[in-house]
Amino acid sequence: MNPGDIGREMARLLRDSTRSIEFTSAVLRIHNTGGGLSIQAETKSGRYLNPGMTALADLFLPLPPSIYEVRLSHTGEYAFLATPDVGTTSPAWLVFDDAFRYPGHPLPGMPLPARSRPTGAPTDPAVLARITALAAEFAELYTRIKGHAPKWEPGCTEAQLAEAEERIGARLPEDLRALYRVSDQDDETGLLGRYSHESLGRLVAQYLEGRPGTHGWQETVSDEGVVMETSPAGRVKRLSRNDWWVTFGSDHAGDYLTVDLDPAKNGVSGQVLEYGRNVWGPPRYVAPSVTAMLEEVLRALKAGEFREFASHRLIAEAAFHQDSFRAHDEVMTETTDVSAIVEPELVQELYLNDPGSVDLAILNPLSSLRHLRVNRADSVAADLSGFPLLEAASIESSKVDLAGIAGHPTLWSLSLAGVKHPIDFGHLAGLPGLIRLGLAGLDVPELERVGELSSLRVLTLDDGQVRRLLDAGVTLPSLAAIEITGGAPLAEIVRLRRRLRPDGPAPEVIEASGTLV
């Protein structure tokens, strides 16, 4: 389908969605990610519209990933534009460095610890004997409880293990190797509690698909990016992903087990972590080893601590299933009384909602705080000196005193919103490691000084502020990305991209226009 046909069909579907209302102009934006569609449709007055979703899906899913926009006048004239060089719209993201990552978000290519290099050597005989004995004991208990033996796939050979390790580039922990020698796959019998180890072939396939290791989260530049510490602290490296987290099992419900071959100082190689849809924040520490998991399952079964299902499943009430009471985040609404928080020293993320007027120093008992969000405040004294680990702060307040942020050694992300008075840029210039800054919609008399922030890589401004910088000759060549708010037309965003990177490749743009009859 040619661009003219795409634009005309978008305009027709947009007009059909306005049949019962009066409007002067309307816009329809489609973000085709290559795997799905994001659709925005509204009139100039802000009324949301509902164009034919099925027709839009049929039209756009076969097309290349891109942003598509049509603007329609009530008289029938329309203008169509498409470009793959704008990340999103409303707000718009322009990404100039696809390899940029926030702190704690490593790209693939991490060094492998020497102890985990493939050797081709057979599994440690003592470990193999121990795992074989534990599995046999489980099978005996299972048979006694269920009345039949557990169904396990035959074990792998040493040659199969060596081949798998050569493909992933790392030697598996000895006890996981031994588990695969006993059985290539557990069909949810409960050998590892609610989890099951998957086949060796599946382990290799999961590792090699996409990025090495566990899939990370919050990897795009538009995400917030602060990585929290796994509890207990010091055992797991504080990273969003790791080449040497090797997924080997799951609960078949969206949560996955991984062995950690690259632990932090207080951790051990082969420790087991969990990640997935029910694990919010950092990976969850499960056990120091696969061996420890098997031993805990047996303890629970012997103590009669299990749930028996009508099928073949037998789930031990193992201690490693239980999350610690303290999660990494906390929400406080219309209060600043931290005395009510259990274990305040473990809170890493705080949502402070509707606090009225507040001096942030009152939150100093939250000594492990890494991400602070203040929402809908009247006045904030931003004294951050009592938070030695703080990396990100977003403050929405009518009034804010920023004197207390200057010189903070670990703060790399700051976002301000709702401030009704001019922002003193001098306080921002005193942040030595500021990587991300958000000032959209605010009065910043010395905005041009943003060019002095040598560490700045990601900036959020409104379209008027961006034009102001460009008109002043500030182009910010070190930016990895810029977020532009304000709802500017896609054509204007493309023009701003050209001005921000005049020496870079010209944005790829397709345009068409016409009139509906």
Contacts 24+ apart (CB under 8 A), 368-371: 368/229, 370/226, 370/228, 370/229, 371/224, 371/226, 371/228
The gap between the terminal CA atoms of the chain, to the nearest Å, is 20
pLDDT digits 0-9 by tens, 448-482: 999 999 999 999 999 999 999 999 999 899 999 99
Task: Map tokens 């796939």 to a residue.
Answer: 153
Task: Map tokens 């449709």 to a residue.
Answer: 41
For residue 219, being part of any structural domain is answered with: yes
Q: What is the pLDDT of residue 312?
A: 86
Closest to 121 (Cα-Cα) out of 178, 182, 171:
171
Regarding whether 436 and 406 lie in a shared domain, the answer is: yes
Q: How far is the C-alpha of 69 from the C-alpha of 3, rounded, in Å?
A: 11
Per the model's pLDDT, the better-predicted residue between 312 and 23 turns out to be: 23
pTM: 0.91
Q: What is the pLDDT of residue 274?
A: 94
For residue 499, being part of any structural domain is answered with: no
Q: What is the pLDDT of residue 224?
A: 84
For residue 297, being part of any structural domain is answered with: yes
CA 382 to chain centroid, in Å, comes to 27
Domain end point (choices 272, 305, 321)? 321
pLDDT digits 0-9 by tens, 402-447: 999 999 999 999 999 999 999 999 999 999 999 999 999 999 999 9
Q: Is 287 helix (H, G, I), strand (E, B) or coil?
A: strand
Query: Which tokens hold the place of 452?
Result: 């002095």
Q: Are strands 77-83 and 66-73 parallel, antiparallel or unpaired?
A: antiparallel
Among 51-55, 208-212, 307-311, 484-488, which stretch is predicted with the lowest mean pLDDT?
208-212
Tell me the chain's radius of gyration from C-alpha atoms.
28
Mean pLDDT of the chain: 94
Q: How far is the C-alpha of 393 from the C-alpha of 382, rounded, in Å?
A: 10
Q: Which of the 8 DSSP states describes residue 19?
A: T
Regarding whether 170 and 60 lie in a shared domain, the answer is: no
User: Which sign does the torsion angle of CA 497, 503, 507, 512 carry?
Assistant: positive
pLDDT band at residue 322 under the 50/70/90 scheme: confident
Q: For 209-222, what is the mean pLDDT? A: 74
Q: How far is the C-alpha of 406 from the C-alpha of 446, rounded, in Å?
A: 16
For residue 8, being part of any structural domain is answered with: yes
Regarding whether 164 and 214 lie in a shared domain, the answer is: yes
Q: How far is the C-alpha of 88 from the C-alpha of 221, rounded, in Å?
A: 12
> Would you say residue 504 has pLDDT above 60?
yes
With 0-12 / 13-18 / 19 or more C-beta atoms within 10 angstroms meaning exposed / middle / buried, residue 207 is buried
Regarding whether 270 and 194 lie in a shared domain, the answer is: yes
For residue 514, being part of any structural domain is answered with: no
Q: How far is the C-alpha of 23 from the C-alpha of 181, rounded, in Å?
A: 70
Q: How far is the C-alpha of 258 from the C-alpha of 247, rounded, in Å?
A: 4
Q: Give the Cβ contact number of residue 161 at 10 Å.
A: 23
What CATH number does residue 218 fall under? Answer: 3.40.1580.10
User: Domain tally for the chain?
Assistant: 3
> Would you say residue 325 has pLDDT above 60?
no
Q: How far is the C-alpha of 70 from the C-alpha of 498, rounded, in Å?
A: 21
Q: Are strands 392-401 and 371-381 parallel, antiparallel or unpaired?
A: parallel
Q: How far is the C-alpha of 63 from the C-alpha of 31, rounded, in Å?
A: 11
Regarding whether 444 and 418 lie in a shared domain, the answer is: yes
pLDDT digits 0-9 by tens, 457-466: 999 999 999 9
Q: How far is the C-alpha of 173 from the C-alpha of 290, rounded, in Å?
A: 9
pLDDT band at residue 215 under the 50/70/90 scheme: low
pLDDT digits 0-9 by tens, 106-154: 999 999 999 999 999 999 999 999 999 999 999 999 999 999 999 999 9
* CB contact at 8 A, 371 and 396: no
pLDDT band at residue 270 under the 50/70/90 scheme: very high
Regarding whether 151 and 10 lie in a shared domain, the answer is: no
Per-range mean pLDDT, top range of 159-168, 206-215, 304-313: 159-168
Regarding whether 200 and 231 lie in a shared domain, the answer is: yes
Q: For 352-360, what is the mean pLDDT? A: 97
What range does the domain containing 368 cover?
329-486
DSSP H helix total and E strand total for the chain: 10, 22
Q: What is the pLDDT of residue 279?
A: 86
Strand ranges of the sheet holding 37-43, from the earlier edge strand across to the other edge:
37-43, 25-32, 66-73, 77-83, 510-515
> Would you say residue 309 has pLDDT above 90?
no
Task: Map tokens 């969605």 to a residue.
Answer: 17
Q: What is the pLDDT of residue 326?
A: 60
Q: For 357-366, what is the mean pLDDT? A: 97
> Would you say residue 508 has pLDDT above 70?
yes
Regarding whether 386 and 454 lie in a shared domain, the answer is: yes
Regarding whether 167 and 62 lie in a shared domain, the answer is: no
Task: Map tokens 């193999």 to a residue.
Answer: 128
Q: How far is the C-alpha of 229 from the C-alpha of 210, rounded, in Å?
A: 25
C-alpha dist (Å) from residue 44 to 67, 342, 413, 498:
19, 49, 33, 26
Q: What is the pLDDT of residue 311?
A: 80
Dmax (CA) of the chain: 82
pLDDT band at residue 211 under the 50/70/90 scheme: low
